[in-house]
Amino acid sequence: MRPPAGRPPRLSPVIATLLLAALPATAQQTARDPTALPPSLRSAMAAAAASAPAGANAADTAIRQVVFVQGRGYVVQRGRRYGVGELLDGARIERVTEQAVWLREGGQLRREPLYGGVEKRPPAAKTSKEKQP
């Protein structure tokens, strides 16, 4: 049946009940923070952190930077400068170059490269064809 002219149509009781039932579900949803990690990733990171040893992480102790001041090489680690002969995480610094740092720990000397897989070499000699203009 159509409502008389000038009156709005009435909602059926079934449709009204369904609309009211959907309101609490949408009201409980909160806006998702786009900068927050997804819950599945947060739980995976927490599990990895729990299984890791209590000591410093290997990525935290990796040598990433060296500086040279007046011809002497220094390792920069956690905002501090370490020179040859000083202890760095229990290892004594033996030598510092542009490519690597040599550390002595437990009587063993080991080379810690700054750039894995990258070696500095002198430029290749030019051939006679390259020398001519």
| Tens-digit pLDDT profile for residues 73-132 | 999 988 899 999 999 888 999 999 988 999 999 889 999 888 877 777 888 887 766 655
Please state the domain count of the chain. Answer: 1
Residue 95 lies in domain:
63-113
- The answer to whether the pTM exceeds 0.85 is no
> In this prediction, what percent of the chain has a pLDDT beyond 70?
71
- How does pLDDT run across 106-117, given as a tens digit for each residue? 889 999 888 877
d(CA 25, CA 17): 14
Residues in the chain: 133
* Spatial distance between the Cα atoms of 103 and 64, rounded to a whole number of angstroms: 14
What is the pLDDT, as a whole number, of residue 124? 84
Structure tokens at 48: 């990895």
Q: Where are the alpha helices (DSSP H) in the chain?
A: 13-28, 39-51, 58-61, 128-131
Domain-located, residue 76: yes
Per-residue pLDDT, 85? 93
Is 39 inside a domain boundary?
Answer: no
Strands 100-105 and 108-113, bridge-based pairing: antiparallel
Cα–Cα distance for residue pair 96/77, rounded to 1 Å: 13
